[in-house]
Amino acid sequence: MTLPNVFFITGTSSGFGRVLVEQLSAQGQNVIATARNLDKIKDFDDLPNVTILQLDVSDSEEEIGHVVDQALGIHGYVTHIINNAGYGLSGCVEEPSIDQAKRQFDVNYWGAVSVTRKFLPHLRTRTEGDKCIAAVSSAFAFQTQLATSYYCATKAAMEMTFEALKMETQHLGIKVLLIEPGAFRTNILHQDTNIHMPKHSIADYSPITDNVNKMYKELDGQQVGDTGLGCKRMIELMNMTGEAKEISKGEMPVRVALGPDAVDMITKKGNELVENCNKWADFSKSTDRKA
């Protein structure tokens, strides 16, 4: 008999994480919702099939392992891990402190890696039910942005690590999926809550940062991406149902962009890489030792 799905989701207090919990619960799926602040997800107690746990993904491996053990004790297993927790860091490369930049990686990148590593022994040894690891990356993993480079770098690092993980674990029946959203109407652009500002700004960069911050404020709440539809597609992908199953023939892809802007950004970057590689091809190939 196939095991009922159990979804473990990080960063569920807002945005994609919150909507995923609501949609999965409405579908009758079992959900373990986590957040740094349990007060922000207390309302999930009223949802059927949802259990809440406190988790800061930047905590130590030991602390994360303790939460994973708690999660595995609820239903006896977990089938789907969704690494969603994260935030943005504004500022040109020189502006945020090194501690701010490292903190960005601790949450966005190392948080996802640490949670995943703690679940892998369970996934490797379980022989029944689905085994899926999803990471919410970004189209910005491919197309860096002014005054947002550290955020983009965390997502680029996530892409390489989870793509390698897919290759390393496919013989064990573990599916790995990278989800690359564009601009969706979440609270990701809320300054000082989900976008952290550098502690010390540098006047020489103000023509750039002023424009970027102005753009964020104007875009906040106006994004064309429908978070509900985006989460619906994510669930289709993770469960391999609906249109996702038809397109993939049941084989989970390594990555999928979400949103027309994400498709455009990734396509543009791909074309730029090919064009640049072709332009310099003869030069690049001139480095082999002579026979």
HSE, CB side, 13 Å, CA atoms: give it for residue 256.
21
The length of the chain, given as a count of residues: 291
Extract the tokens encoding 271: 């074309």
Question: What token pair was written down for 139?
Answer: 């189209």
- 175-198: buried (b, 16+ CB within 10 Å) or exposed (e) per residue? bbbbbbbbbbbbebbbeeebbbbb
Rounded to whole angstroms, the Cα distance separating 265 from 216 reads 18
Task: Single out the catalytic residue among 77, 151, 205, 216.
Answer: 151
3-state helix, strand, coil split of the chain in percent (to 5) is 50, 15, 35
Instruction: With beta carbons less than 8 A apart as the criterion, state whether 194 and 88 touch.
Output: yes
Torsion, Cα of 133, 135, 139, 142 (10° steps)? -80
* 151 catalytic residue (yes or no): yes
Q: How far apart are CA 206 and CA 90, in angstroms?
A: 12
Give the list of residues 6+ apart from residue 150 with CB closer than 8 angstroms, or none. 89, 91, 93, 96, 100, 101, 104, 105
Active site residues: 151
